[in-house]
Structure 1
Amino acid sequence: MDILFIVNPVAGKGNCDFVIGKIKEQMDFFHIPYKIKLTTRKNEAEEIAKDAVIKGYEKIVAVGGDGTIYEVVNGMIGSSASLGVIPSGTGNDFVRTVGIPNDLEKALNVIAYGKKVQIDCGKVNDRYFVNVASIGLDAEIVKETENIKKYLSGSWAYMGGLLKTLFSYKHKRVNMNIDGSKKNKNITLVAVANGKYYGGGMKIAPMADIKDGDFQVCIVDKISKFKLMRVFPKIFSGEHVHYDEVDMHKGKQVKIKSDEHLSINLDGDIIGKSFNVYFQMVPEGLKVLVPQDNIM
């Protein structure tokens, strides 16, 4: 029942030593074998997770935010290991969807005694995501948000990235294919959602179900900057879906083509640019630890 904790020491508000101390205290109290490894650079969590799979760890725990989870998932996908999460990042959107508590001691109880559930994943090329992937304005905002996170956290960082990006962003003309249904769109953004939340608590896909085998696809058509600023606050409650410029669709495969390079955002990580992007559902692609009383 060995557990490996992969800790991102720069995630959240710099409370790494406190978090590690609590991990040791709780695991020793439970008499559960464990190890802790700290990352020192970007993408190292993925490498550590891959090695943990080879060594046969039963539970691999991402200690950090959505970016840390993204790396760990890509290191352990396809294995029999279960993903655990100790939220200590700025956004923590994935845990909102699966019901993992933000309280440190309660989250550690889930690692020790939580139940294992199968959840869906998404795939773009050879990369996987568990929460939300996107192109368009949102992906450009993510790049700006990474810089702003040095000064602001969570949804405030995202809002700062939005404001900075908004004035220079140009709409993208794309051809879309969602499970065979074709659309030609002049879009502001497209979010392909497995989970409900992103950007530090914004409810981009209120109807998303991480276990139903389908994406919820949120398409925001070309919209004036003035109206976008009016719509933006509605995303936190999911009320943005009622605007004429917002279309919601359900599907397992989403193909997007454009004459322009499209930045690709997976769970808050920009993986590059492409003229063609293919999002594919991977049903029950991952086991995750959740509270025993979770109804998932």
Structure 2
Amino acid sequence: MTSPPASRDAPLFVVFNRASGRGNRDELGPAVEAACAAAGRRCELLPVTRPGQLPETAREAVRRAREVDGIVVAAGGDGTINGVAQAVLGSGCRFGVLPRGTFNYFARTHGIPAELDAALQVLLTQEAMPVHVGRVNGRAFLVNASLGLYARLLEEREGWKRQFGRSRFIAFLAGVRTLLRGHRSLHLEVELQGRSWQARTPTLFVGNNALQMEQVGLPEAQAIDEGCLAGVTLKPVGRLSLLALLARGLFGRMGDADEVRSFAFQALTVKARRFGAKRIKVATDGEVLKMALPLRFEVAAQPLLLIRPPGLAPERREVRS
């Protein structure tokens, strides 16, 4: 898909969540308005002020942007960015990101700086490029989707963040605690490219972020760059083995572990082997919800038109070197 020509005067419609993110939330609006004024660009700020308001606000931003060939911008962490992307995908609108979260995997893999002023310069000066999106049962994900242990880890991590604050260290401690509490294996039937296999695994992880794959040492980063998704399952293992796998991931060596199976794909179907299972918890970019089985993971037919710098992100060049 060819991205639309750059427009140096296209107005920005900025969706931001006052209830999430990091740093001084009150600085966002003035910084965006000042940068746009200096560039001679119009902007509208659309704050999300209550739980559950994000989808409605994102749809309103898309509606306004389509009327004037504007750009929809998501300011927040990966969850907020995902929520806005749900509305933008398939609309034809260009999409911008101002990362304000803890990990910012989506922004980092596409070379968008974490610093607000630098991210605004990218937004105001660069062109839109197509980036592919993952979907599970029609719901988009930009970073990853998962079920089983990893989804539970994310769900419990949010509780720790609400209690102790948002930081990578808190997220790590929450993950260790989840692993130590034990887990149950999933009994799945996985269908891929006309063949199927039975999988008993603590978790099924589907990645759509090359940087995340590179950092933990899985080889499917290149396949993600080429428009695929990456599937990861684990053999049934005990708590100590899971902690050892976590340590391997921290040192970028998970791909060397015999307990890990990883593969690239365009479309994947997952069914429950146990009779009676109809719904399962699935995490998409950190948000956990119940979905009906079977699950269909696939690359979305249309990409996002993301405003980003050209080439490989500096952080990813360092990982690959």
**Could you say whether these structures have the same fold, taking a TM-score greater than 0.5 normalized by the shorter chain as the test?**
yes
Query: 1:158 maps to which residue?
Result: 171
Cα distance in 1 for partners of 2:88, 2:217 equals 27
Cα distance in 2 for partners of 1:81, 1:126 equals 19
Shift in Å at residue 71 of structure 1? 0.4
Query: Are 2:90 and 2:302, in contact at CA under 8 Å, matched by a contact in 1?
Result: no
**Higher mean C-alpha displacement, 162-171 vs 76-85:** 162-171
SS of the aligned residue for 2:261 comes to strand
Indicate which of 248, 253, 268 corresponds to 1:239: 253
Q: 1:13-56: per-residue Cα shift (whole Å, max 9, x none)?
A: 35111122211111111110111111013342222221222222
SS of the aligned residue for 1:159 comes to helix
Check 1:104–1:126 CA distance in 2 against 1; reply closer, same or farther (3 A cut).
Answer: same
Cα distance in 2 for partners of 1:35, 1:93 equals 26
Query: 1:290 maps to which residue?
Result: 308
Shift in Å at residue 274 of structure 1? 3.7
Equivalent pairs counted in the alignment come to 294
Cα distance in 1 for partners of 2:259, 2:58 equals 41
Instruction: Report percent identity of matched pairs.
Output: 24
Q: 1:257-277: per-residue Cα shift (whole Å, max 9, x none)?
A: 122553101111112144421
**Where does structure 2 lack aligned partners over 5 or more consecutive residues?**
1-9, 314-321
- Could you tell me which amino acid in structure 1 is paired with residue 25 of structure 2? C
Q: 1:77-110: per-residue Cα shift (whole Å, max 9, x none)?
A: 1011111111111221111211111111110011
Query: 2:317 maps to which residue?
Result: none
Cα distance in 2 for partners of 1:159, 1:274 equals 30
Shift in Å at residue 117 of structure 1? 0.8
Cα distance in 1 for partners of 2:244, 2:254 equals 10
Query: 1:207 maps to which residue?
Result: 220
Check 1:283–1:211 CA distance in 2 against 1; reply closer, same or farther (3 A cut).
Answer: farther
Cα distance in 1 for partners of 2:207, 2:153 equals 17
Query: 1:29 maps to which residue?
Result: 38
Q: 1:140-177: per-residue Cα shift (whole Å, max 9, x none)?
A: 11111111112143433332332332214211111111
| Bigger fraction of residues in strand | 1
Check 1:206–1:222 CA distance in 2 against 1; reply closer, same or farther (3 A cut).
Answer: same
TM-score between both structures, scaled by the size of structure 1:
0.91
Cα distance in 2 for partners of 1:99, 1:181 equals 37
Cα distance in 2 for partners of 1:294, 1:91 equals 21
Indicate which of 236, 249, 252 corresponds to 2:266: 252
Cα distance in 2 for partners of 1:238, 1:206 equals 11
Cα distance in 2 for partners of 1:272, 1:62 equals 25
1:107-118 correspondence runs (5 A) = 107-118=119-130
1:152-191 correspondence runs (5 A) = 152-166=165-179, 167-191=181-205
Confirm or deny that 1:75 pairs with 2:87: yes
Cα distance in 2 for partners of 1:20, 1:287 equals 24
SS of the aligned residue for 2:205 comes to strand
Cα distance in 1 for partners of 2:250, 2:292 equals 29
Cα distance in 2 for partners of 1:275, 1:158 equals 29
For the pair shown, the structure with the greater C-alpha radius of gyration is 2
Shift in Å at residue 284 of structure 1? 4.6
Query: 1:272 maps to which residue?
Result: 290
Deviation beyond 6 Å, 4+ runs, structure 1: none
Query: 1:192 maps to which residue?
Result: 206
1:57-76 correspondence runs (5 A) = 58-76=70-88
Query: Are 1:196 and 1:205, in contact at CA under 8 Å, matched by a contact in 2?
Result: no
Indicate which of 142, 151, 160 corresponds to 1:139: 151
**Higher mean C-alpha displacement, 220-229 vs 235-244:** 235-244
Confirm or deny that 1:40 pairs with 2:40: no
Cα distance in 2 for partners of 1:180, 1:190 equals 19
- Could you tell me which amino acid in structure 2 is paired with residue 171 of structure 1? S
Query: Are 1:52 and 1:60, in contact at CA under 8 Å, matched by a contact in 2?
Result: yes
SS of the aligned residue for 1:149 comes to helix
- Could you tell me which amino acid in structure 1 is paired with residue 19 of structure 2? V
Shift in Å at residue 285 of structure 1? 1.8
Check 1:169–1:202 CA distance in 2 against 1; reply closer, same or farther (3 A cut).
Answer: farther
| Bigger fraction of residues in helix | 2
Query: 1:93 maps to which residue?
Result: 105
Cα distance in 2 for partners of 1:59, 1:204 equals 35
SS of the aligned residue for 1:48 comes to helix
Query: Are 2:182 and 2:239, in contact at CA under 8 Å, matched by a contact in 1?
Result: no
**Where does structure 1 lack aligned partners over 5 or more consecutive residues?**
none
- Could you tell me which amino acid in structure 1 is paired with residue 119 of structure 2? A
